[in-house]
Every structure is written in C-alpha cells, then in structure tokens.
C-alpha cells in the first residue's frame, strides 16, 4: 500500500484535487468505527488529471449503519439501491453513493446480480470490472489501495481485469461493452486475453437489457476515439449482437476492387464528423451523439442494396432510404427515445441529397427544399455530408468541397432574403378556410401543402397572389365542384 503524498515512486496528487466532502465523510465513518474508501472511476480519474462527476465510496458498514452515519450530515439521502447495499445522498452540490463491500455473483441466465455483502476492501476491489477501476483511497488518510496493478495498467494504457476475464464477463456481460467504451473514452488498448474472452463470450450480451447496452453505446460513440471502440465491438463479435448492421458493412471486396471498403469508409466518416463538431458556442457542440451515430450508420443500407451492374460497376440504389429504416429499427430495439431515433434516421435518409448539386446545379426551389427537409438538423447535415467525402482523389475532393461551399453560401443568401428557417405558406389555416368556405379537415391540410409547395417553388408571395394561386387550385378539386352543385332536394 502506498501513501499518495509521501512516495516518490508513485504519481503525486494534490489533496486539493478532491472536494472537501470526501475527507469530511471519511472522518465521519472512521469516528463511527467504520472504514470508508473512495473507489473506482473517481480514483482513476485523479491519476488522469480529470475531475470525476461521480463520487463513489465503499465501506464495511451495512446500509443501516451507513444511514446512521450520514443522516444528520447529508442534505438529503435515499434508499433506492438499499437491496444492493447502496445508499445515495446529496451534500451541497455533490451526489454521493456509499456501497457496502460486496461479493456478488450472477445467475448465468439472469440480468440481475445476486448480491452478498463482502468483508474486506480487497475482496470488494476484486469483483470490479477492470484493474484501473479496482483502486481505492482509504479515507481520511488518502492511502492508495491497488492490489491488482491498476496504476501499472493505467500508465501502460492497457485494460485488464482483476481476475480471469471470462469469470468477470460471465458475472456481468455488460463489462464487455464497457471495455469497448473505455477503448473509446480513455484511448487504452485491450489486453489480448480480455479481447479473446470478449470474442468467446460475445453471445452473453444477449441477457443484458437493451437500456443498459444503449447507455454504454452512447458513451462509446461520444468518446475521444469512437473508431477504436466500434472496431473492438466488430472484431470481437459483440457488434453481431448489438449493432449487426455495422458488422454487416464488412462487405467482401471483389477481386476487381470495384467498390471501396464500406466498413472502413464508415469509420472514417465517423472520425471526420467528430472533427467538424464545434465548441459550446457553435451550432453543433461536441460530442454530438446524433451526428456521430448518423455518420456511423449512414451506409448500413448498402449490404442489402448492392448490385453488380452489367457494365462492371457496383450500385447501391436507395441505400439511403433503406439505411434510414434499418437505423430506426435498430435504435428502437435499443430503446432510444423517439426524438433521437427520428433525428438520426432522418440524417441517414438525407445524407445523399447533396450529390449532383455540383454537376446539375440547383434552382432556388431545390435549395429551399433542402433546407426545409433538413429543418433543425441542417447544421448536422452540413457536417455529415462533408464528412462523407473520403476519396483519395484530391481533385474530386476539392470539387465536392467547392460545391458544398457554394451550396452553403446560397442557403445563407436565401435565408437572409426569405427567413428560410421558418418557411410557412403565405396563408395560414384560418385564411384558407375563410377563403374557401370550408371547415377544418383533410381538405385544409391539402390546401396548406399546396401553398407550402408554391412557397418552396417560387419564394414568398403577397397575400393577393397567394389567394389567387389557392383559388386556381381549388377550382381543380372535386370538393369545389360538389359545393357548386345546386340542391336538388326539396
């Protein structure tokens, strides 16, 4: 055991790196005759020079004893995790969890652990996921407890488990997803034996709830190196269970190399999209999960739409539409919220819309439709489209970049003239009903859509011109003829 602030052989950390509540809470437990240690991610992050948003503690006190220690000190406490030995509390701005030493085992077919309280800090650390998370600071002395080489592995940038990886992943298969997440977040290499166990046990992830898998996936995609995390999922076979559409992107390369490696292309697009995110004051602050996940999934429609043409070319017709549906279906299975599903799948659907602009040229109407169809996703669509250029042909890349620069300039000019962000028909629903003498219903919706199409096609009209357009349209509708027929009864 090493005292953090006396040993020249270990990294030196300043006590000021820890909030005052850490030392205060440690003293309270010691005064009550118990042990308390800061544990896991917060300790790891101290050595990485990061401030962890979490404060997780472990103790020999059972939940009743923990409550007795903290109830007068905490601003508020709760017992939601009591069955798992965890008491949550709030002190000032800090959210804290204190968990009794645990020794837990999982039923091979169950998603939930069978919890048994442990007897020592070292045993508690042994049941944790990885060695770099199996370190603790005894409180209030700040003595480092690192029985499984967490500091060694952290400095080496290698992810290992305290015990046998197969035993760890059998206990909690979600740890395999966590390994991929740490590869992305912490930019560490996964030890060979860990990767092998992930490959051997990939199917065990099926017993984990979709929500828990989703949460790990979000953290992976939002990490510093999501390419590394996704690559690990695919290489170990985990992606076959959680993101099979991405695994399927590894299309076999035909002997004539008539198409590029779709999987590696998608990872490059993901990397490039990350590089186009903005700071907090920009239009797409990073990390932006919607943009990143759309970049990863944008070509998932290609495997099912690939065709070898008589000319020798390879086509992927409508892969954008197919990919959008596959993306939405996968995200629903992973229990994403509806807004996120709609945003990501819409970006996948629109990612090919730009192509052809530089060759054929677009009318102002086409530019308006591009902006309107993207809606609030426009800035993300700009970045996704630019990221999708991975060609090594410098001249082609420059031509596409120039064309998109031109499109953005035209959008800016039209937006200034016409307030494109809030394109609406020149008449609203009330005006339509008054002019046509109709009641609310599907007919009003059709009229509204007609006027919106006119607005997109021709730009804004004054009220008189819009009314004239609507009346001309109305004369061609069967409902207008019905309303003009005389009453033959009576």
11 Rama class: left (phi>0) / alpha (psi -120 to 50) / beta: beta
Instruction: Give me the domain span that covers residue 11.
Output: 2-156
Q: What value does the CA radius of gyration of the chain take, rounded to a whole number of Å?
A: 30
Residues in the chain: 490
Q: How far apart are CA 317 and CA 306, in angstroms?
A: 8
Mean of pLDDT values over 406-435: 79
- Predicted local distance difference test score (pLDDT) of residue 104: 60
Does residue 268 sit within a domain?
Answer: no
Between the two ends of the chain, the Cα-to-Cα distance in Å is: 103
34 Rama class: left (phi>0) / alpha (psi -120 to 50) / beta: beta
Does residue 210 sit within a domain?
Answer: yes
Which of 156, 181, 212 lies at the terminal end of a domain, its last residue?
156
- Note the pTM of the prediction, 2 decimals: 0.80
Which of 140, 156, 172 lies at the terminal end of a domain, its last residue?
156
Q: Specify the range with the lowest mean pLDDT, choosing from 183-187, 241-245, 261-265, 434-438.
A: 434-438
Same domain, 460 and 445: yes
Write the pLDDT tens digit of every residue in 9-50: 444 554 557 889 999 999 999 999 999 999 999 999 998 888
Does residue 484 sit within a domain?
Answer: no
Write the pLDDT tens digit of every residue in 403-416: 889 899 888 888 77
- For the record, the structure tokens of 111 come out as 């998603």
Write the pLDDT tens digit of every residue in 171-194: 899 999 999 999 999 999 999 999
Same domain, 191 and 311: no
Write the pLDDT tens digit of every residue in 107-128: 666 656 666 788 899 999 999 9
260 DSSP 8-state letter: -
Which of 156, 175, 204 lies at the terminal end of a domain, its last residue?
156
Tell me the sheet residues that pair with 77.
Answer: 89
Same domain, 398 and 434: no
Number of CB atoms found within 10 A of residue 295's CB: 31
Does residue 272 sit within a domain?
Answer: no
Number of structural domains, the chain?
4
Does residue 258 sit within a domain?
Answer: no
- Predicted local distance difference test score (pLDDT) of residue 487: 47
Same domain, 406 and 450: no
- Assess contact for 479 and 464: CB atoms under 8 A: no
CATH number at residue 205: 1.10.110.30
Same domain, 124 and 194: no
Same domain, 34 and 71: yes
Same domain, 36 and 57: yes
Same domain, 337 and 224: no
Does residue 357 sit within a domain?
Answer: yes
- Assess contact for 346 and 298: CB atoms under 8 A: no
**In whole numbers, what is the pLDDT of the chain averaged over residues?**
87
- Predicted local distance difference test score (pLDDT) of residue 114: 62
Write the pLDDT tens digit of every residue in 362-410: 888 888 888 889 999 999 999 999 999 988 888 888 888 888 898 998 8
441 DSSP 8-state letter: S
Does residue 168 sit within a domain?
Answer: yes
Same domain, 223 and 205: yes
Alpha carbon separation from 265 to 261, 269, 319 (Å, rounded): 6, 6, 15
**Helices then strands (H, E): number in the chain?**
25, 14
The string over 131-169, giving b where at least 16 C-beta atoms fall within 10 Å of a residue's C-beta and e elsewhere, is bbbbbbbbbbebbbbbbbbbbebbeeebbbbbeebbebb
Same domain, 6 and 149: yes
């Amino acid at each position: 055991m090493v005292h953090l602030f006396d040993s020249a052989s270990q990294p030196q950390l300043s006590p000021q790196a820890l909030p005052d509540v850490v030392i205060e809470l440690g003293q309270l437990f010691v005064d009550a005759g118990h042990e308390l240690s800061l544990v896991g991610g917060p300790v790891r992050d101290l050595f990485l020079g990061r401030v962890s948003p979490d404060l997780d503690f472990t103790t020999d006190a059972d939940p009743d004893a923990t409550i007795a220690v903290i109830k007068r000190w905490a601003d508020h406490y709760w017992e939601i995790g009591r069955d798992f030995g965890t008491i949550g509390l709030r002190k000032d701005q800090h959210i804290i969890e204190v968990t009794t030493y645990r020794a837990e085992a999982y039923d091979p077919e169950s998603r939930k652990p069978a919890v048994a309280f442990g007897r020592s800090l070292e045993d508690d650390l042994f049941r944790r996921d990885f060695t770099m998370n199996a370190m603790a600071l005894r409180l209030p002395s700040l003595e480092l407890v690192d029985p499984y080489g967490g500091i060694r592995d952290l400095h080496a940038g290698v992810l290992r488990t305290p015990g046998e990886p197969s035993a760890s992943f059998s206990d909690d298969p979600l740890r395999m997803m966590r390994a991929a997440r740490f590869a992305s977040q912490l930019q560490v290499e996964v030890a060979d034996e860990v990767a092998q166990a992930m490959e051997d046990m990939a199917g065990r992830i099926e017993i984990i709830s979709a929500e828990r898998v989703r949460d790990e996936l979000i953290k992976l995609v939002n990490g510093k190196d999501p390419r590394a995390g996704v690559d690990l999922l695919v290489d170990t076979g985990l992606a076959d269970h959680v993101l099979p559409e991405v695994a399927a992107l590894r299309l076999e390369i035909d002997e004539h190399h008539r198409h590029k490696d779709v999987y590696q292309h998608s990872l490059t697009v993901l990397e490039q999209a990350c590089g186009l995110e903005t700071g907090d004051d920009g239009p797409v602050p990073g990390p932006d999960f919607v943009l990143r996940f759309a970049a990863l999934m944008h070509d998932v429609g290609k495997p099912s739409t690939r065709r070898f043409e008589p000319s020798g070319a390879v086509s992927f017709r409508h892969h954008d539409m197919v990919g959008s549906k596959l993306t939405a279906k996968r995200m629903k299975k992973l229990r994403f919220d509806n807004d996120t599903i709609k945003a990501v799948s819409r970006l996948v659907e629109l990612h090919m819309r730009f192509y052809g602009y530089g060759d054929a040229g677009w009318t102002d109407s086409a530019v308006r439709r591009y902006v309107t169809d993207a809606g609030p996703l426009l800035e993300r669509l700009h970045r996704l489209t630019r990221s999708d250029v991975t060609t090594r042909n410098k001249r082609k890349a420059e031509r596409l970049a120039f064309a998109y620069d031109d499109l953005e300039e035209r959008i800016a000019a039209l937006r200034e003239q016409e307030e494109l962000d809030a394109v609406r028909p020149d008449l609203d629903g009330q005006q339509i009903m008054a002019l046509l003498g109709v009641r609310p219903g599907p007919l009003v919706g059709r009229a509204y859509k007609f006027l919106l199409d006119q607005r997109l096609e021709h730009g804004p009209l004054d009220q008189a011109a819009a009314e004239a357009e609507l009346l001309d349209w109305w004369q061609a509708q069967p409902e207008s003829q019905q309303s003009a027929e005389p009453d033959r009864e009576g």
